[in-house]
Chain A
Amino acid sequence: MGRKLLLEHEHVPGIDGYEVYRSKGGYQAVEKALKSMGPEAVVEEVKTSGLRGRGGAGFPTGMKWSFIAKPEGKPRYLVCNADESEPGTFKDRYLMEKIPHLLVEGLILSSFALGANTAYIYIRGEYKWLVDVMEKAIGEAKHNGWIGKNILNSGFNLEIYVNNGAGAYICGEETALIESLEGKRGNPRIKPPFPAVSGLYNCPTVVNNVESIAAVVPIINLGGAEYAKIGLGKSTGTKLISACGHLKKPGVYEIELGVSVEEFINSEEYCGGIRDGHRLKALIPGGSSVPVLPYHLIYKTANGDQRLMTYESLADGGFATGSMLGSGGFIAMDETTCIVRNTWSFARFYHHESCGQCSPCREGTGWMEKVLHRIEHGHGNMHDIDLLVDVAKKIEGNTICPLGDAAAWPVAAAIRHFREEFEYHIKYPEKVKGIYAHLPDYSAVPV
């Protein structure tokens, strides 16, 4: 059994409430930090832990914290990114639903470390019920003296508030999130300045993912060095993986980084193998924006090493033969999957989610979607394939924010690894028309 640091108590009845959470050792990390450590020591432990941001980019959290500007007379803010909208990703929701106090505790620790007296949790609009869940947990924590003025007589004050979005993937991008939190359109800002210098209300701001913030709790409890021993190499600690697609047991799993992809997919502890006795065809290991891996590059890397669930191993081979750990949105697709249809659906997603500020993304995402739609619906031409590759290339790297890359990569990767399937769609339009990605037998579906 892999070690669990975040979801250890996920099945304890009542763990979503304060009393049970506290009885399982909850808020001990806050006591430790506020009574005996001080802010700098907390930052140091997080640095030592090697924790890397769990929102997708994998940037070391401790280092990010040390960049925060500390000008006189300006407040600092911590913003928790709970916008979770990357297709395939549903781990933050799970964590907040199951153990909301873990996030609250992490927020107290992180705010303390940063010297932030206000923290906001920005929850994606569609997770409406989670606003209640988090506000209840914050209320309980406040009632018990963990939030408010002069917490544990340390002189540290903190308020935590929840804000919610209203349907926009782009608000997961940290500067778009800040704009949205200011009540504006979710247009990413042009950087520099970076949020650490000028973020929310032009004040120094750190934006961190839900899971990154929650992970600070075990880091303080165990100590950074102990945490760093878990995992493999520079991929320290545990990671929540939200597994979906054609798996026997889709769901959210906490893994120790370093588990092999094969074990994660096939063992009973995790996904239990591919559904319906089918074979695995493709894998998107880190949310829809990372490159898809074809069957022969899933369990093994191009040079024959075992593929592991780490930042490094999943990226082994670069974009030619590798992918990325990303947000941990793990999408397994079996042999019944139509790659073209899936690629089109992702292209449609990015087209739908582009904020429209910069021309390559605004125009390019729509263009790619339209061409893919044509191919999928039997109206493609052979030159469309190269056109897609070229449009993707012209978007990539030329936009304000990484959404442009996120839109370009999946298209480029799907064509790189499954070109024949695109050609087949173009050559035999009558054979692919109206085919679903997956056709369940209704009579066999239990209600």
Chain B
Amino acid sequence: MSTTEKEIKFSEATMARVHELISHYPEGRQKSALLPVLHLAQNEFGGWLSVPVMDYVASVLQLEPIEVYEVATFYTMYNQEPVGQCMIEFCQTGPCLCGGVEPLIEYTENKLGIKLGETTPDGKFTLKGVECLGACGYAPMAQIGKYYYEHLTPAKIDRIIEEFGKPGWDPHKKHEI
């Protein structure tokens, strides 16, 4: 979904959630809902935060656009550029190194023909290297969509690549692999 073609507007359900989030904070402190609302925006508008999307969030929360840019660029989970339908985020910090993540990343890179930080030409997969995700005992692991996939092996990567690239795959569900 391209954000330029469609009007940028939260669905009714999302808007209701936005209002609920705002209600968690004192009067006039709606800025507190910014991080969760940016997550909602990223989910709803194609997996990344374009400038028009950030401007829209600013208008929803009655903020200056710069306040949103400052926050959106600070936190690594907000994508500044389009990403593939399925983003595989490998943890590559110390304990995961011990757990053998590096050969697994190499395996995945070879299989998809892209490097960390790249997206396959068909727009299905993005590979990303990230820092400790709090799953150090279950290495090697990756975050894919909402969930963690732990104790990964080449065979599991094979299945992920086969299943998660299918049209209509839902990143917000936990999938058995």
Binding site for B on A (CB under 8 A): 75, 84-90, 93, 120, 124-129, 159, 161, 163-169, 180-186, 201, 242-246, 250-252, 284, 288, 329, 331, 333, 337, 341-342, 345-346, 348-349, 352-353, 355, 436-440, 442, 445-447
**Contact count band on B:** 35 or more
Tell me, rounded to whole Å, the shortest Cβ–Cβ distance linking A120 to chain B.
Answer: 8
Contact A167 B98 (CB under 8 A): no
Contact B137 A242 (CB under 8 A): yes
Q: Which residues of B contact A442 (CB under 8 A)?
A: 103, 153-154
Question: B94 interface residue, CB < 8 Å from A?
Answer: yes
Contact A244 B75 (CB under 8 A): no
Contact B134 A84 (CB under 8 A): yes
Beta-carbon nearest neighbor of A342 in chain B:
B94
Contact B93 A243 (CB under 8 A): no
Contact A201 B136 (CB under 8 A): no
* B149-174 to A contact mask, C-beta < 8 Å, 1/0: 00001111000000000000000001
Give CA–CA (A428, B39) in the complex, Å.
Answer: 47
Contact B135 A163 (CB under 8 A): no
**B75 partner, pick from A88, A166, A438, beta carbons under 8 A:** A166
**B35 partner, pick from A85, A125, A127, A333, beta carbons under 8 A:** A125
Whether A161 contacts B77 in the complex (CB less than 8 A), given A87-B132, A244-B95, A349-B131, comes out as no
Contact A345 B134 (CB under 8 A): no
Q: Which residues of A contact B24 (CB under 8 A)?
A: 120, 159, 161, 163
Q: Which residues of B contact A182 (CB under 8 A)?
A: 29, 31-32
The listed residue with most A CB atoms (<10 A of its CB), out of B24, B100, B130, B134, is B134
Q: Which residues of A contact B75 (CB under 8 A)?
A: 125, 165-168, 186
Binding site for A on B (CB under 8 A): 24, 26, 29, 31-36, 38-39, 61, 67, 70-71, 74-78, 92-95, 97-100, 102-103, 130-139, 143, 146-147, 153-156, 174
Whether A345 contacts B94 in the complex (CB less than 8 A), given A168-B75, A185-B71, A244-B136, comes out as yes
Beta-carbon nearest neighbor of B136 in chain A:
A244
Contact B134 A437 (CB under 8 A): no
Contact A186 B74 (CB under 8 A): yes
Tell me, rounded to whole Å, the shortest Cβ–Cβ distance linking B90 to chain A.
Answer: 13
Q: Which residues of B contact A342 (CB under 8 A)?
A: 94, 97-98
Contact B32 A181 (CB under 8 A): yes
The listed residue with most B CB atoms (<10 A of its CB), out of A129, A183, A445, is A183
Q: Which residues of A contact B38 (CB under 8 A)?
A: 166
Contact B136 A331 (CB under 8 A): yes
Q: Which residues of B contact A245 (CB under 8 A)?
A: 95, 98-99, 136
Contact A440 B94 (CB under 8 A): no
**B136 partner, pick from A87, A163, A166, A184, beta carbons under 8 A:** A87
Give CA–CA (A439, B92) in the complex, Å.
Answer: 14
Contact A341 B97 (CB under 8 A): yes
Give CA–CA (A125, B26) in the complex, Å.
Answer: 22
Contact A126 B77 (CB under 8 A): yes
Give CA–CA (A265, B89) in the complex, Å.
Answer: 30
Beta-carbon nearest neighbor of A288 in chain B:
B94
